[in-house]
A and B are shown apart, each in its own frame.
Chain A
Amino acid sequence: MVATSEVLAFVVSLGTLYSIYVILSSSMELVYGELGLPDFAKAAFFAVGAFAAGALSVRLGAALAGIAWEGEFKLRSYYYATLVSAKVAENPLMGLVIFVVPLLVAVPCAVLLGVLASYPALRLREDYLAITLIAFSEIVRVVARNYEPLVGGTFGAGVVDVFAWLRSPWRELAMMLTSALFAFGAWLLLYRLSRSPFGRVLRAVRDDEVAAAAYGVDVARVRAWAMALGSGMAAVAGVLYAFYIGSVNPDDFTVSRTFLVVLMVTVGGRGNPKSPPLGAAVYLALDRALLFAKRFLPVPFDVNYVAYAALGVLLILFVMKKPEGLAPERPLLTVDAEATEGVTSRT
């Protein structure tokens, strides 16, 4: 029999991960779904957030708590993370500072990188752009993997428990609620944007770039804006993810993470702002189901690959059989119903 507290812990943990994926897929929907720019560097912008938390939380915490640092970062970050967390347990304000500073650093960095990454989009066709962005994403990961002072290279980095001042399960619950709050904010931003005149411009560029330019749209600026917003959102998700996991490892941010998010948006329905919450739910449900099921699967290879194979098959099936996704895109209406009613009734 499973204890109630274990079920609660499972749900809370899943809720946090769900929130993080909603932020990521909202940012993917904005850039890929609405603007049609294959942002296959999403994992890198996600990583920027996580790396900011990994690089800063322990160092900042140690400085704030007056703990003198000894030894190499890669060998000692987990140890100091524990020490700083113990200090945070007595000082919630310190936890808040350690949480907010990586956010304040990561978001502008990701926004800047996003704007930079939007420039190849001017010269490259969609498929070449996708390849370029994948390469960009891998560069970010490989640099972090080899430059140990950043987040400890292959050792990874410990991350401070910013909610250490709460007792379990309140601690986990606080993490979930914080993530959920950010997720709701990110999704609301996406939803409002997609129904604003800006959303109309995004879709126009996606539908026909030349026509959009001929009708007054500065396509380069639209792309820069969308990539700035999308990348900033992904960085927020990355910071939350690092604090949720409690450590950061560069190899956690491979291109396959990008494609999980592409999967969510595709399954949910590209071009429909409902796709992020829907797609993230489908993905997590499936992922957890596979986690349970794979114990019972007699496969002649490492059973962990079953999930990859299944998700790959799902993506292919959707692209072939149901490319519009579970919630198909609808022609958008940026004006409220009364506005059009007034005019149409006179016709």
Chain B
Amino acid sequence: MKDLSSNNKSIVDGPSRVDGKHKVTGKARYAAEHPIDGMLYGVLVDSTIAKGTIASIDSKAAEWAPGVKAVISHLNSPKIPGYDDKFYGLKVFFNNKVLFYGQPVALVVADSFERALHAATLVKVTYNKDKSETSVDKNLANAKLPGNPRMKDYVRGEADAYKKAEVSLEEEYLMPLEVHNPMELHAIIAHWLADDKVKVYDKTQGIKDTQESISKTFKLPQENVQVIAEYVGGGFGSALRTWPHEIAALLGAKKTGRPVKLVLNRMQMFTMVGYRPYTRMKMGLGATKDGKLTGITHEATAQTSRYEEFTEATVNMSKFMYKCANANTRYRLVQMDVSVPTWMRGPGEATGSFALECAMDELAYKLDLDPLEFRMKNYAEVDPENGKPFSSKHLDEAYKLGAEKIGWYDRNRKPASMKEDGMLVGYGMSSGTFGAFRWEATASARINADGTLVVQSAVSDCGPGTATSMVQIASESFGIDASKTSFILGDSALPPGPTQGGSGTTSALGSAVFDTCLALKKQLHEIAAAEQDSPLYQSKFEDVKFEDGDILLSRSKKVAITDLLKKKNVPSIAVTLESKGNEELQKYSMYSFSVHFAKVHVHPLTGVVRVVQVATVADSGKIISEKTAAGQMIGGVTGGIGMALTEEGVFDDRFGKFINNNLADYHVPVHADVPHIDTIFINKPDPIINPMGAKGMGEIALIGFAAAIANAVYHATGKRIRELPITPDKVMGAEV
């Protein structure tokens, strides 16, 4: 059957994930899946108003219900020493203030999940309700410059220069509220081992961050907080910080003196662990008649909470993506009676790129230029924001490869000109970018007498395949077969690893693994070179190679590492090393880039949009693991399909509450929404950023993609939809 043939050769042929077997057999244990004797279950009671105060809490019925061990609210909560004036964020069970709908106001702890769930319904809370504001659109007049000094207005050359341009465009774009919704519900098991010592099994993307956050909140020595996160069932940013429910579980465990498991329900995933903020944007673009950009203006107004400010780099991409002498940005926030937003995959840039990349498409049509040609006419060879060279940039090659794959030049560029199988056909493209970083990280590497290499670091993996990549880096760096190499993660007691966010894990941790393996090699060689009867006696490190567990000076002069350890009578030799970038990095602008091409079908009567073909290209330096990298790109595109066509968190502003806070009403893409996706890698090492030459790709996989779909819908229909998601009603209602 031809239709069933498998066609992604690089995925099939490459080395598989090192944790794959655990994941397909159910052996992988996520946060809530660690059995502990005497475990209790916590269920949160959420506020049913968006703003006001708690008038009373009657917990008697709940306390007397079978199996209930404690009901905790602001009335009886153990004091949290870290909830001082400096604490930033929601203080759980701290006072009677209600700051958003769904705020945790009480915790019921019982000896079974069912008993806790039932007792939670018996807690009666009354409120003094104030009028709440949750509509950004109705409160645009209250938009303010953020307190964050990095978010001030930016001007290069002349502000609003687009207004004087020969050809110009000014349009508004909307990114609705999006929710991460990883498949694993946020969960924690809190277990106090002593009054000042706690162990948690937690869903977190940052093991050391969570350790630090808990130790600060409860004023504990950091080493008295152990955080375990061996498997994390997706995050996309939602597990980048410590949330109130985690503190609530710690309180429940403290109060009852027993381990407490707390798992959020899907509705709480919309209100308690952040979201991508609703953002209104205005783009102004100006160009000469022959297509040279003369002005870029990007304005954004986003929602945040009243109790904590959240900002993201929404307008940054417009400062450096294209060569243009005049560029300016303005970023504003509206405080709402909502929970605080947080970083969500491609934070800032995913929102901003939608406006910029749609506007580029619109202006290209105004100029009668191919959108790809228009981009190439304004290609930035150096960073327009600071004049620095890029550490590496092959975006031009990415454009070319993507265009070839999708058949870009075979299309008729005229809008609403193509049809097949009764459907309107459209092609669209866009590009994306995200900063590439190299943070500091520490890893340890241990070579054992049996010839196996064990590398460790306190990092968690929410899905990209960190252990798989690290095994590949370690085995290549050390010159040993991957089957003899393992990577241990998921425990704060290990050497401090980076937080898995900002597409920075492979760069930071990979460098630490690379450098640590190098140091271990040097140490082993030093031992061998000091042995008088060794064939490597007095050899130089520069002259030897490490291959298949041997140290070689030449084919005949070599020492097996296992023999070396036996001779020295040691079970293993280990090195722990911190690794970070040098000052050289400051001389460069470091970014990853992506290009997305999409083909859509639009139903001429119903306006339903189907994505039928995608080619996505990553320029993110050297690819460490092609199999997992392809997965990242495919996943980013899938998220982008949701952003473009279906995802939108909707509030009923009368009550300040979500009305689609579940997976039946908040539409994430399903199998039927996602076609075959071609992933292409430039795979050229970045010579500057780190020893591997690898840059991040988690964010760029998504950034820009929604614009490719919006541009394809325009090409198919002649209709510009500037407010996401592009639902059938918008397609039908729009004018050509």
A complexed with B? no
Interface residues of B (CB under 8 A from A): none
